Amino acid sequence: MVKVITEKRNTIKLVRNNKIIERSLADYQTNKNLYNFRGFKPYEDDVKVEKVEDKVVSLKPKRKTRKKKDEPMDLA
């Protein structure tokens, strides 16, 4: 079994003209002036918090292949 662990991310949607992008809140706060300079404004005032669940994926064991036995060749 493989356990996939993902972290909770706070994201914010930014809009410029008809283009909408989604970035992490930490990235937006550190580069706020750069986003404003490029014309991106917050699309929603709310910060979206993703709910993350642990996903467990069960893997099937690999199938073993048969090895052919070396048989002598008849050259008669």
pLDDT, tens only, 11-67? 888 999 888 898 988 899 999 999 999 999 888 655 566 666 777 778 888 888 777
The pLDDT score that the predictor gives to residue 64 is 80
| Cα 20 to Cα 47: distance, rounded to the nearest angstrom | 15
Q: Specify the pTM.
A: 0.48
Whose tokens are 């972290």? That residue is 7
Write down the domain spans for the chain: 2-57
- CB under 8 A, 24+ apart: contacts of 24-33: none
pLDDT of residue 68: 73
- Residue 63 is inside which H or E element, if any? none
Phi, psi at 20, each rounded to 5°: -120, 125
pLDDT of amino acid 58: 80
The pLDDT, as a whole number, for residue 43 is 84
**Which residues partner with 20 through β-bridges?**
15
Output 71 or 16, whichever has higher pLDDT: 16
